[in-house]
Structure 1
Amino acid sequence: MNFMLRIALQLLAFFFLFVFIHMITAVTIQFFWPQGGTDANLSIYVLVLSTVLFLLILLLIGWYLGRPVYFIIVWLRRLARGQYDLPIRWDEIRSRKSGTLKIPYSIYKELFEHLHILANTLQKNEKELQKSEQAKQEWIRGISHDLKTPLTYISGYSTMLINTEYRWSEAEQKEFLTVIQQKAAHLQELVQDLNETIHGQIPLKAEVVDIVELVRRTVADVSSAPWATGRQFMMDTDPDQIPGSCDPKLLTRAIRNLFVNAVVHNPEGTRIAVRISQLHDRTTEIQIEDDGIGFSETLVKSDAAIPSSERSGLGLSIAKQLIEAHGGDLIVTSKPNEGTSLSIRLPLMQS
C-alpha cells in the first residue's frame, strides 16, 4: 500500500468518524427532545454542536498526522547540523515486540526509511571526506618533508663550489653542477606532486622496473651526498636482477627516506648494509641495517607520525605509507645503542 493511499484512507476514516458522531448526536437529541424538530433554537444548538465536533475532529487529525511530521522535521534539523545518528526518541516510536513503527508513524513508513538511508549516506560521505582530507594532508606533509633532501644537496654542493679555500677542477665543478641540476629537477617533480588529486589513496603510476637497480641508484645517490661523509655503505643482492611492478618515483622516495634517516641520525663511522633477496613466496625483501644509535621500541610500534626531533624523524612514517601503498610491508626493529634493522617486503610482479 503506497503512501498516498494510506493518507487518503486515514482522512476517509476521520470523515466517517465525524459523520458517525454527528449522527449519534442527532439521534440523542431526537430521543431526549422528540418535539423539538421544529424548534429554531434546537436547530441552532445542533449547528453549533456540529461545528464544535468538526473543529475537534480537525484538531484530532492535526495531532494524529502532524506529530510524525514534527518528528521528521526534528530529524532533518539534526541532519542539517551534521548529527547523523538516530534521534533520541527513535525507540519510542517503534513497537518493542515487532520493531515496526507505531500508529500514526507507520503512515510515513517510506519517509522514515529514506531518512534513515539518507542519514547513513551522509555519515558515510562525511567519513570518506575526512579520510580523503587526512590523506591529502599526509601527502602534502610528506612532500614538504622530502623537499628538504634535494635542498640539502643543492645547499651542500653550492657551498662547496663557492668555497674560496679550495680550487675545484673543471671536472669537479661540472660534477657538482650536474648534481645541482638533477636535484633542481627533483624539486620541480615534488612541487608538481603537490597538485596531485588525492582521494583517500596515494596515486601510483606503476611500471615494470628492476628493483635491484632502483635500490643501487638510491644508495649511490645518498652515499655521494656531502652530508653522508664518513658513513660506510655496503650492498649485497641475490639475484642480480629482480623485476617488479611499482611506481619508481614513490618507491625511490620511500627508500631514500630510510637511507637519509640512517645517515643524518647516526654519527660518522656508521656502517649501513643493504641486502636484496627474493623470497619463496614471490616477495622481494630489501633489508637495511645500521650499527648506529638506534631508537626506542615505543617509536617502532607506533603508527602515528613520529616527531622530527626523534631519532627516526618523519621520514619513517612517510616511507611506511608509500610502501604500504604498493601492497608491501615495512618491518622495523631497533633499540637504543644497538642499531636499526629495516625490512621492506614487496610483492613481485605476477608472471
Structure 2
Amino acid sequence: FYRMAEKLAETERERERLDRNREEWMSGISHDLRTPLSSIQGYGYMLENAPQDWSQEELREMGTVIREKGDYMLELIDDFSLVFRLKSEIRPQELSRLDLNELVRRCVLKYVNDVTLDANFSYIGGEEPLLIDGNAKWLKRLMDNLLTNAVKHNPEGVHVEVRVERRPGGAAIVVADQGVGMDEETRRNLFERYYRGTNTEESMDGSGLGMSIAKAIVEAHRGRVGLWSEVGRGTTITVLLPEVSVQDGADCTAHGKDD
C-alpha cells in the first residue's frame, strides 16, 4: 500500500512539474515573440493604409525587416521547443556510444576552417578514445553554442582553446578564451534564460537562448557545467559528462555521427 501511495505521489509530482514547464514555456514564447510581432504588425499597417506613399527602395527595406523578424520568430520557437524537450533526461534509445575526443575535435575543426570568423582556435585532446553515452546531434549543438558565444562576445582575433580531458569525475570539455571576461552579475546570470532579454532592435543574430540551451543539453546528459571568468582575464567554461568505462566501451561504434 505504501509503495503504491508513493508511486502515485511521484506521478503527481511529475505531472505538476510538466505543467509548470509547459506554463513557463508558453510564457517565454509570448514574452519574446511580442517585440518582433509588433514590428511586423506596424509595417503591415503602414502598407495596408498608404501603399502609394512608399518608394520601391522603402518597400524593399520594409520587406527585408519583415522577413528578418519572421526568421527571428521561427528561430525563437525552435529554441524554446528544444529547451522544453531537454527539461527531462534523454531517453536511453536516444543515446549512442561516442568518442568525445573525436566529436569535439571535429566540432573545433569546423570553426578553424570557417574563413568568416576572425578568431583563432586550438584543440587539445588525448590519443585514446574517451567514451561517453550521448546524443551526437545535441552535443554538437552544445559545442556550437559554446564556441559561438566565445567569439561573439570578444574582440576580433580572440584565441579560443578547447580541451578534452579525463578527470576523476568524468569526461571534461573545457572551452577557454583570453577575452574581455565577465563581471559578477553576468557570471551569476549567464545560464538564465531571460538574462539580457532578446532585443530584436539591436541584433538579429541568434535567439539569446544559447547558453540556456547549452546548460539544458549538459543536464539532459546527467552532466554539470561550471564557469570561471574575470573582467579582462577571459572566460573558461567546463562541461563534465559521465564517462563510460573501457570495458563497457569495447563495443564503441559511433564516433560523433548523428543518429
Structure 1 equivalent of residue 180 of structure 2: 293
2:216 alignment counterpart: 321
**Conserved in 2, the CA contact under 8 Å of 1:207 and 1:247?**
yes
- Report the Cα distance in structure 2 between the residues aligned to 1:197 and 1:213, rounded to whole angstroms: 29
Q: Which of residues 218, 238, 242 is equivalent to 1:347?
A: 242
* CA-CA distance at 1:124 after TM superposition: 4.7
1:258–1:138 distance in 2 versus 1, CA, 3 Å = farther
Q: Which amino acid aligns with 1:275?
A: R
Distance across 2 between alignment mates of 1:199 and 1:256: 17
Check 1:316–1:196 CA distance in 2 against 1; reply closer, same or farther (3 A cut): closer
Among candidates 116, 130, 141, match of residue 19 of structure 2: 130
Per the TM alignment, residue 239 of structure 1 is displaced from its structure 2 partner at its CA by 3.9
Amino acid across the alignment from 2:182? F
**Structure 1 residues 221 and 270, CA, compared in 2 at 3 Å: closer, same or farther?**
same
1:258 maps to 2:155: no
CA distance in 2, matches of 1:222, 1:209: 21
Q: Describe the SS at the equivalent of 2:125.
A: strand
Segments of 5+ residues of structure 2 without an aligned counterpart are 1-8, 34-73, 200-207, 249-259
Aligned pairs for 1:142-161 within 5 A? none
| Contact 2:89-2:222 at 8 Å conserved across structures | no
Give the Cα–Cα distance (whole angstroms) in 2 for the partners of residues 208 and 221 of structure 1: 22
Give the AA of the match of 1:265: H
1:292 Cα deviation after fit: 0.9
Greater strand content? 2
1:231 corresponds to 2:126: no
Q: Report how far residue 134 of structure 1 moved.
A: 5.1
CA RMSD of aligned residues (A): 3.8
**Higher-helix-fraction structure:** 1
Secondary structure, counterpart of 1:238 in structure 2: coil
Q: TM-score, normalised by structure 1?
A: 0.44
Corresponding residue SS for 2:233: coil
Question: Would you say the 8 A contact 1:132–1:198 is kept in 2?
Answer: no
The equivalent position to 1:206 in structure 2, one of 84, 92, 95, is: 95
Q: 1:217 aligns with which of 101, 106, 110?
A: 106
User: Unpaired segments of 5 or more residues in structure 1?
Assistant: 1-119, 145-186
In 1, Cα distance between equivalents of 2:110 and 2:139: 14
Q: Does 1:330 align with 2:225?
A: yes
Do the aligned partners of 1:239 and 1:278 also contact (CA within 8 Å) in 2?
no
User: For the Cα contact (< 8 Å) 2:87–2:220, is it kept in 1?
Assistant: no
The one-letter code of the counterpart of 2:222 is G
CA deviations over 1:44-95 (Å, ceiling 9, x no partner): xxxxxxxxxxxxxxxxxxxxxxxxxxxxxxxxxxxxxxxxxxxxxxxxxxxx
- Residues 269-314 of structure 1 show CA distances to partners (whole Å, capped at 9, x for unaligned) of 1110111111134x1111111011112222222352232679xx53
Structure 1 residue 135: deviation in Å?
7.1
**Counterpart Cα distance in 2 of 1:139 and 1:270:** 33
Q: Percent identity?
A: 26
Q: 1:273 aligns with which of 154, 161, 182?
A: 161
Bigger CA radius of gyration: 1
